[in-house]
Structure 1
Amino acid sequence: MDHVPSAILGLCAFTHDSAAALLVDGELVGFVEEERLSQEKHTRDYPRHAIEWLLDEAGIKPADVDAVAYNFQPARYLAETPAALRFALAGPTRHRALPRAAGFAKVGLRTRRRVQSLGQAFPGARVTPVLHHRAHQLTAFASSGWNESAVLVVDSLGERQTTTIAHGHWAVHRGTVTLEALYDPASLGYVYGAVTEHLGWRRGDEEGTVMALAALGDPARFRKLFSDAVRTTSTGFTLDPAYFPPRVLTSGYARTSPRFIAEACLPRHPEEPVQQVHQDLAAALQERTEQIMLHLAWRSRALTGSQRLCAGGGVATNCVSIGRIIEAGIFDEVFVPPAPGDAGTAIGAALAVHVDSGSRRPLSGIARTCYLGPSFPEPVLDLTPWPGLKQKILGADAAEFLADQLAHGMIVGLFQGRVEAGPRALGNRSILASPIETGVVERLNATVKFREPFRPFAPMVTAARAEEFFTLGQAAPYMSMASQVTHTARERIPAVVHANGTARLQTVTPAQNPFMHEVLEAFARRTGVPVLINTSLNVKGKPICGTPEMALDCLANSGLDALLLEGRWISK
């Protein structure tokens, strides 16, 4: 057997959502997205801050790293270069064939150089490129804690793959094995990103805004357009290039066609007001996305025979689609990891190298965990750079104190423990507010988050009382699933119910987040409602606050009333 690496560094780097993870002797030391430390949202930089923290946390040096796992395989891009020439045979795609071939070749060679550069940074390590979708699969499957499940990954592009259905089984496969794959240009993530951009929001960042907007529209207006453009097949779906021309990995090539624009609407400039036509287009896009995701979920069940599903990839962050899969009863339980997007593949890449090494060390620190980043347990706070802020130390009654302030209408930032993995704040880097406070949604959007007025806010609820307010019927620890709501929710907490009658909830147990569970129970004693509004500790365009300094900036430059930072009550 080859040398079994004990310290494996997993990387997502040089592409959006740069991140790093570290496995030592099969245990996940930690994982963090670079943006949480560098303050640059969706950064594609080499994750220097993340790596420095991980090595320090493990007490090792770069020379002690045995293996570096990278979340893309360069050679897989190069395989598309000859394949792209098939587009030269059809009139609508002929002009894209050569640029597409050249673009994939360029990215493949660039990825190869990046892999080589990682070898120079860690001279004692073997650098292993990992197939992107395999990294997604392993992140989702290992995070679930299950021994066996179906694994569905849907994203924009991983080398050439866009959709994979795998079977996860630790005893049989020692991980996952792919049973079926779809290849670009059949990409649901590409379509959603293209329409997001067409509607005037940033592709790769603001798809969630379009999902929220969809609730205000009527999908019937553009239903035929999307059923023509995105057609289902027995094994998945295809795209009509007359609407969405084949991807070219070079800027300057539109993702939507003149025909799409003629049948939909002109592109919206970001500064233009949102009109009914934009709402209707978003609604039809979302409806078709849900239909395709349901179709793929049924296909996953048929291929694997499994009663459980793990979902990963960027499209798995579409919580309404995940909610639809749960409601359909295709599986007994559905799981989405806390970091289903590309950042999370840093974990999966490290897992792939661990599994392939033949190591028999059991994995630990991965299943059902989300608080994986840095913590600042006893920060020394010098408030001089933030004049007007003052602090006081809270004692053992911090949860009761916080619940009382929230019950009296305050909007409070919470910074405690380790940084969450993934795009959702889960009670450690959160903004909290009472869902029974009049006008709280308008106030949050306008003065705290500085974002569109139609954007909804998610509820967090004690797991024990979730069914009083939400019909999901399963745990939702990572705020990745939209649920229908009960009559009680509509009456008591309308602020967390979106226009489509759903809420993207987070269920909280004492084991998962003891402090947050204590706050929810204390709030319930005061109001009768074990539910709080929970949104991420940031403002629009900024990443979730990973450090105390970022949190203090957020307090000082937004409409937050106060910040509870590791037991310190900081107010204006």
Structure 2
Amino acid sequence: MSPMKLLPKTSSASSLCGTGGDYGMTIVLGLGGSGHSYAACLVKDGIVKAAIEEERLSKVRHCLFVPGTENIRLARSRAVLYCLEAAGVGPDEVDLVISNDIMHPLYCAKYNGDAIAINHHLAHAAASYYTSPFRSAAVWIADGSGSFLEDGAYETASYYEADEDGLRLLQRTAGRSERRMITDHDDLNHSIGGFYRWVTEAIGFGFLQDGKTMGLAPYGTPRYVEQFAEYYTFTEDGHFIQTKEQVQRFCRWLTLSLQEVSGEREQFERRADLAFAAQHHLEQVVIQSCRYLFERTGRKQLCLGGGIAFNSTANGKILRDTRFEELYLFPAAGDAGTAAGSALYGYHVLKAESRSPAGRPFSPFLGKAYADSDILKACARYKDRITVTRPEKLTDTAAQWLSSGRIIGWYQGRSEFGPRALGNRSLLADARNPGMRDTINLTVKHRESFRPFGAVVLEDEREAYFEGQDESHYMMKVYKVKRDKAAVIPAVVHTDGTCRLQTATEQTAPLLHELLLAFAAITGVPVLLNTSLNDHGMPMAESPDDALDTFMNTAVDALAIGPYWVTKTGREKDGAANYRRTE
């Protein structure tokens, strides 16, 4: 366990890649990822100008490429060129290139050793703190594993505090491995992320599919909660401890418990009970870690980062169950988000540029702005199968269709950075329709029927429908739905009476806000089901072509893409319930 360590502000006067931007601007390129989830981010004078995950361009989720192709696809690093183009910056204008030290080296190959690599958890912490509205904060980072340290140790959780002097590492929890590649049970220990991962994989989900475990958990019972406690400890000084021997016993027990049942229903119930216990203990560790950090720092503001920060159910309980008063969650909290953290660290620390908290919420809409001509070109590919119009008021047209039970693709402006659709690459539907969740899971998403959908609500109406006192601009928290409203918006209420929520304001999502107002004027309900614009196994739509392909291959009824309204010719009156997918 490490003592307090100051991460100093050091100046780097030389330009790594060129002569710098116009008018003395400082331009920093950040590269993010680890062995997966690669991304790029461009920061100009301290402002994030562009960011995108590589998966949106490669069309391979998390960049988990087929063996034999990964070397070429990684070396392309298409996200870098995308960000330069989106920000209107030439390669020779970049002052500094920053990555983190567990990224695949091929993703940085274009820079011939010019890229500076920083600690992985530090990159997470920088993304969370430097994009937050706080002048000072406590910062907690937790994931499966991060940077290798010394003697085979690697970080699994890190505690920081941050203020105008930078980020200070207070302590970290470390696992230990004889290899420099964390691949299996023998390598990953003392990791709450690893603990949750073993359950996720045991109950039949894949790598990086922990969200499915979180979604399945409410269907379970506390049957195994007490037994799970035998396989780890949480110390008074803030460390999650699970030894290699405990990991091995835990994984063997998980396998045996699943082998005890064979029927489909019994298998589902057993898997749900295991997911329930995993979620219960993860929440306990998150709350205990946050309480420890509060006692250590006395800060009232908290920033979270790393893969654990995607557990929106746990996030929704932090302010309720700890003494922190404000919570900030970076919308790209996973490894892709280290691109932003690396770039911002380069600007504020390595370039020693001062920071002033933004006066408005951080905008996740950091993709490229596509022209109307790009949209029309994409539509032309399906010209014999679609009808394209330009309504006088797009939001009124969309609200009318939504209120009549239709599913709408909503493709507007610049794409979101992070895995949540926040109103620019969304599928929207009427939350009042009790059958809508099953319809979208079956005919649009083609995924497991138990999986819930999030909602977007007008910020001014949040307290009428949901419990809790804080906003959720990035759909990173789960809230209890008020008892008298659960029957009003059943399509977004999970089996435990909760909902993962986005709150929309005119400032944070102006067009989506306008649509919610129009929908509420018709229905009296300011809530819509909101999920990502993509089909099963595919990344969220990035380009107009992606949006049209998703629209044409799923049961989406209409697509609002830029100023245009697109319908399937001959199906203008058909609802999703009558749709049959054609290959």
Task: Supply the distance in 1 between the matched residues of 2:466 and 2:354 (Cα, whole angstroms).
Answer: 40
In the alignment, residue 227 of structure 2 is paired with which amino acid? L
Contact residue 200 and residue 268 of structure 1 kept, 8 A: no
**Which position in structure 2 is the counterpart of 1:231?**
233
Contact residue 4 and residue 358 of structure 1 kept, 8 A: no
TM-score (norm: length of structure 1)? 0.85
Deviations 1:252-307 (A, max 9, x none): xxx96424433x323999x9985211110110011011111110110111111011
Task: Supply the distance in 2 between the matched residues of 1:494 and 1:73 (Cα, whole angstroms).
Answer: 43
Mean CA deviation greater in 43-52 or 279-288: 43-52
> Structure 1 residues 382 and 183, CA, compared in 2 at 3 Å: closer, same or farther?
closer
Q: How many residue pairs align between the two structures?
A: 515
Task: Measure how far apart 1:397 and its partner are.
Answer: 0.8
Task: Supply the distance in 2 between the matched residues of 1:442 and 1:388 (Cα, whole angstroms).
Answer: 30
> Structure 1 residues 449 and 2, CA, compared in 2 at 3 Å: closer, same or farther?
closer
**Which position in structure 2 is the counterpart of 1:209?**
212
**Which position in structure 2 is the counterpart of 1:484?**
480
Secondary structure of the corresponding residue to residue 449 of structure 1:
coil
Task: Supply the distance in 2 between the matched residues of 1:569 and 1:52 (Cα, whole angstroms).
Answer: 31
Tell me, yes or no, if structure 1 residue 562 matches structure 2 residue 558.
yes
Secondary structure of the corresponding residue to residue 244 of structure 1:
helix
Deviations 1:379-407 (A, max 9, x none): 23344543653232324411111111100
Which of 116, 128, 133 is 1:128 aligned to? 116
Deviations 1:429-469 (A, max 9, x none): 00000011241111011111111111111110000010000
Task: Supply the distance in 2 between the matched residues of 1:496 and 1:223 (Cα, whole angstroms).
Answer: 27
Contact residue 132 and residue 357 of structure 2 kept, 8 A: no
Contact residue 431 and residue 536 of structure 1 kept, 8 A: yes
Task: Supply the distance in 1 between the matched residues of 2:88 and 2:432 (Cα, whole angstroms).
Answer: 47
> Structure 1 residues 349 and 523, CA, compared in 2 at 3 Å: closer, same or farther?
same
Q: How does 1:294-313 map to 2 (within 5 A)?
A: 294-313=287-306
Task: Supply the distance in 1 between the matched residues of 2:368 and 2:314 (Cα, whole angstroms).
Answer: 31
Task: Supply the distance in 2 between the matched residues of 1:12 and 1:280 (Cα, whole angstroms).
Answer: 35
**Which position in structure 1 is the counterpart of 2:129?**
141
Which of 70, 83, 88 is 1:54 aligned to? 83
> Structure 1 residues 57 and 261, CA, compared in 2 at 3 Å: closer, same or farther?
closer
RMSD over aligned CA atoms reads 2.3
In the alignment, residue 229 of structure 1 is paired with which amino acid? Y
Task: Supply the distance in 1 between the matched residues of 2:88 and 2:424 (Cα, whole angstroms).
Answer: 25
Tell me, yes or no, if structure 1 residue 372 matches structure 2 residue 366.
yes
Tell me, yes or no, if structure 1 residue 156 matches structure 2 residue 156.
no
> Structure 1 residues 56 and 382, CA, compared in 2 at 3 Å: closer, same or farther?
closer
Task: Measure how far apart 1:328 and its partner are.
Answer: 1.5
Which of 191, 198, 201 is 2:195 aligned to? 191
Unpaired runs of at least 5, structure 1? 75-110, 246-254
Tell me, yes or no, if structure 1 residue 8 matches structure 2 residue 11.
no
Task: Supply the distance in 2 between the matched residues of 1:432 and 1:224 (Cα, whole angstroms).
Answer: 40
Tell me, yes or no, if structure 1 residue 279 matches structure 2 residue 275.
no
> Structure 1 residues 46 and 466, CA, compared in 2 at 3 Å: closer, same or farther?
farther
> Structure 1 residues 472 and 274, CA, compared in 2 at 3 Å: closer, same or farther?
farther
Task: Supply the distance in 2 between the matched residues of 1:25 and 1:126 (Cα, whole angstroms).
Answer: 20
Deviations 1:181-212 (A, max 9, x none): 111221111111111111111121x2111111
In the alignment, residue 205 of structure 2 is paired with which amino acid? W
Task: Supply the distance in 1 between the matched residues of 2:435 and 2:558 (Cα, whole angstroms).
Answer: 18
Contact residue 456 and residue 503 of structure 2 kept, 8 A: yes
Secondary structure of the corresponding residue to residue 418 of structure 1:
coil
Tell me, yes or no, if structure 1 residue 33 matches structure 2 residue 53.
yes
In the alignment, residue 190 of structure 1 is paired with which amino acid? G
Task: Supply the distance in 2 between the matched residues of 1:401 and 1:311 (Cα, whole angstroms).
Answer: 39
In the alignment, residue 36 of structure 1 is paired with which amino acid? R
In the alignment, residue 408 of structure 1 is paired with which amino acid? S
**Which position in structure 2 is the counterpart of 1:248?**
none
Unpaired runs of at least 5, structure 2? 1-10, 16-25, 65-73, 148-153, 176-188, 569-583
Contact residue 243 and residue 259 of structure 1 kept, 8 A: no
Q: How does 1:418-429 map to 2 (within 5 A)?
A: 418-429=414-425
Task: Supply the distance in 2 between the matched residues of 1:316 and 1:223 (Cα, whole angstroms).
Answer: 22
> Structure 1 residues 61 and 267, CA, compared in 2 at 3 Å: closer, same or farther?
farther
Task: Supply the distance in 2 between the matched residues of 1:364 and 1:152 (Cα, whole angstroms).
Answer: 19
Contact residue 11 and residue 19 of structure 1 kept, 8 A: yes
Task: Supply the distance in 2 between the matched residues of 1:139 and 1:396 (Cα, whole angstroms).
Answer: 40
Q: How does 1:449-528 map to 2 (within 5 A)?
A: 449-528=445-524
> Structure 1 residues 47 and 456, CA, compared in 2 at 3 Å: closer, same or farther?
farther
Deviations 1:320-358 (A, max 9, x none): 011121221421121111100000000111122222324
Task: Supply the distance in 2 between the matched residues of 1:453 and 1:307 (Cα, whole angstroms).
Answer: 40
Which of 164, 167, 177 is 2:161 aligned to? 167
Contact residue 134 and residue 357 of structure 2 kept, 8 A: no
Task: Supply the distance in 1 between the matched residues of 2:128 and 2:98 (Cα, whole angstroms).
Answer: 17
Task: Measure how far apart 1:363 and its partner are.
Answer: 6.6
Tell me, yes or no, if structure 1 residue 334 matches structure 2 residue 348.
no
Secondary structure of the corresponding residue to residue 242 of structure 1:
helix
Task: Supply the distance in 2 between the matched residues of 1:364 and 1:268 (Cα, whole angstroms).
Answer: 54
In the alignment, residue 144 of structure 2 is paired with which amino acid? S
> Structure 1 residues 353 and 459, CA, compared in 2 at 3 Å: closer, same or farther?
same
> Structure 1 residues 268 and 136, CA, compared in 2 at 3 Å: closer, same or farther?
farther
Contact residue 29 and residue 43 of structure 2 kept, 8 A: yes
Contact residue 242 and residue 259 of structure 1 kept, 8 A: no
> Structure 1 residues 355 and 384, CA, compared in 2 at 3 Å: closer, same or farther?
closer
Task: Supply the distance in 2 between the matched residues of 1:127 and 1:10 (Cα, whole angstroms).
Answer: 9
TM-score (norm: length of structure 2)? 0.84
The alignment-based identity, stated in percent, is: 33
Task: Measure how far apart 1:428 and its partner are.
Answer: 0.3
Task: Supply the distance in 1 between the matched residues of 2:13 and 2:117 (Cα, whole angstroms).
Answer: 18
In the alignment, residue 118 of structure 2 is paired with which amino acid? V
Task: Supply the distance in 2 between the matched residues of 1:553 and 1:122 (Cα, whole angstroms).
Answer: 35
Task: Supply the distance in 2 between the matched residues of 1:25 and 1:236 (Cα, whole angstroms).
Answer: 38
Which of 280, 283, 286 is 1:290 aligned to? 283
